[in-house]
Amino acid sequence: MIFKVAWRNIWRAKVRSFIVIGSIAVGIWAGLLIIGFSFGMNNERTASAIGTTTGHAQIHHEDFDAEPLSTAVVADSSTVVALRKTVEALPFVSGTAQRTVLGGMINSTKSARAVRIMGIWPEEERLQTTLADCMVEGDFFEASGRNRLLIGEKLAKRLGLKLRSKVVLTFQDSEGNLSRASFRISGIYKTLNATWDEFHLYVHHQDLEKTLGAPLVHEVLVRFEETVDTEEKAGVLAAAMPAGLAVKSWKQVRPELGFADDMMAIMLVLVLGIIMMALLFGIINNMLMAILERRRELGMLMAVGMNKRKLFLMILVETLMLGFVGGPIGILLGDLSTRAMMRVGIDLSSKQDGLAELGVQSIIYPEIVPSYYLIIAVMVITTALIASILPAIKALKLNPVEAIRGH
């Protein structure tokens, strides 16, 4: 019956209760929108990076980062074939692609830039990454030709280059000598990450071999069936590799992405926590006033013999009820509005270039994250519990005699 009393007591002061319940609902609603938005932004960014440029894991020679790039190859071409078969035999791997990776410079008639030159095997690349879908102009090595180059849109703009422009690439060959070769731009690509686009060029591996001699494989990109437990799978992959090779998961290749995920989780909990603190004031205020209004009734109950524990419980339950009404409303509102926005997306194209620097797309589709519903529920309950303490203390301090008399 304590529940009955608590429930009915809420509706005694309708305006005040509505305001508190309303604030709880609004707070949760806002929190859910922020959550959906953040997840949408992050997941899209990560999926894009994994799908277009990074894959789930990469295999390099262990000195790849430290040494000048050209000599740190994974293995010679025949060993690489065997290596890739071993990797692809793992149950969670869906495919691999190999690349030549060189550091060098691109020179246009007007200007120059440092770049990373990725020599790819186009048919494989097509299977393992979505790079082929990112073409803005030109083609993905479909038309035949020689010394073809794919350049990022941002870099092309910077250097004033267009389709079919001629450039000179400078890079080190396998002996460490500087080589120059003339290339023609056969395609312009654009990923979500402008910083990537500004630094990476894609060429057909054959066009590099003319200068390099044999095909050099510096990097093997690995794709998993699912983007789940990627760290563990990378560990399994690493264990299967011979000595001298290092495996990096996508988080290690692009630490800023993993960081963004971790940071986001922390930030969201903080955001929710702060919203809850704001709500705390409102709830405490409401309950204090309720106690004040019901002084006489409370005094009567204490006089008649309601013990302290039950009195505390009564107030606690009433406070929780506020949460039990406001919470589900807030969650419902949040869920519905996120679903509505999922179809339309939130348009941030006015900030497009700035976002592209961070690898974020300009239209963000929020996501539903059910695990947070539980977190929110727990937080609301905790907040209500904490909020009930002060009013309960006040109530228990009442002197029944004075309370009944109305002092």
Partner 1 sequence: MFKLAWRNIWRNKGRSFITIAAVMFCVIFAVVLRSFQVGVWEHMVGDIVANNFGYLQVHQKGFWGDQSLDLSMDETTLDWDKMENVPGVRALVPRLESFSLVSTGESNRGSLVLGIRPEEELSGLRLTDQLIDGRLFAPASNEVVVSEGLAEYLHVAVGDSLMFLGQGYRGASAYGQFMVAGIAKISNPELNKQLVVLPLETAQWMYNATGLLTTVVVDLEPNADFAEVKASLEPLLRSDFELLDWKQLFPELVQTIEADMAGGQIFVTILYFIISFVLLGTVIMMVSEREREFGILVSIGMRKTTLAAVTVLENLMLLVGGAVVGMAVVKPVQFYFKYNPIDLSGQMKEAIEQFDFEPKLYTTTSFIINLNHGAIVFVIGVLVSSYAVWKIMKLNPVKSMRS
Partner 2 sequence: MSKPVIEVKNLEKVYDGAVPVHAVNGISLSITQGEFTALKGPSGCGKTTLLNMLGGLDQPTAGSIAIGGVDITTLSENALIDFRLRNIGFVFQAYNLIPVLSAQENVSFIMLLQDRPKEEREARAQQLLEAVGLKGKEDKRPGQLSGGQQQRVAVARALASKPQFVLADEPTANLDSQSTANLLDIMERLNKEEGMTFVFATHDDRVIKKARRIISIEDGKVLSDD
Pick the binder of partner 1 from 107, 130, 165, 337 (CB under 8 A): 107
CB-based burial label for 160 (10 Å; 0-12, 13-18, 19+): exposed
Q: Are the beta carbons of 288 and 392 closer than 8 angstroms?
A: no
Is 5 a binding residue for partner 2 by CB under 8 A? The answer is yes
Burial code (b: 16+ CB inside 10 Å, e: under 16) for 12-48 equals ebeeebeebbebbbbbbbbbbbbbbbbbbbbbbbbeb
Q: Residue 26 and residue 282: Cα distance in Å, rounded?
A: 12
Residue 307 interacts with which of partner 1, partner 2, none, CB < 5 to 8 Å by class: partner 2
Per CB under 8 A, the list member of 306, 333, 341, 389 interacting with partner 2 is 306
Nearer to partner 1, 16 or 184 (CB): 16
3-state secondary structure of 351: helix
* Choices 30-38, 108-116, 291-299, 361-369; region in contact with partner 2 by CB under 8 A: 291-299
User: Which range of residues in 8-16, 171-179, 326-334, 363-371 is near partner 2 by CB under 8 A?
Assistant: 8-16
Nearest C-alpha neighbor of 372 from the set 324, 345, 322, 338: 338
Cβ neighbours around 293 below 10 Å, total? 13
Question: Least CB distance from residue 145 to partner 1, whole Å?
Answer: 25
Compare residues 306 and 389 and give the one whose CB is closer to partner 2: 306
Which tokens go with 310?
Answer: 């039950």
Q: Which of 82, 307, 339, 353: binder of partner 2 (CB under 8 A)? A: 307
Residues between 338 and 377 with contacts to partner 1, criterion CB under 8 A: 348, 351-358
| Binding stretches for partner 1 (CB under 8 A) | 15-16, 19-20, 22-23, 26-27, 30, 34, 68, 103-107, 109-115, 158-160, 170, 172, 176, 178, 194-195, 254-256, 258-260, 262-263, 271, 274-275, 277-279, 281-282, 284-286, 288-289, 292, 348, 351-358
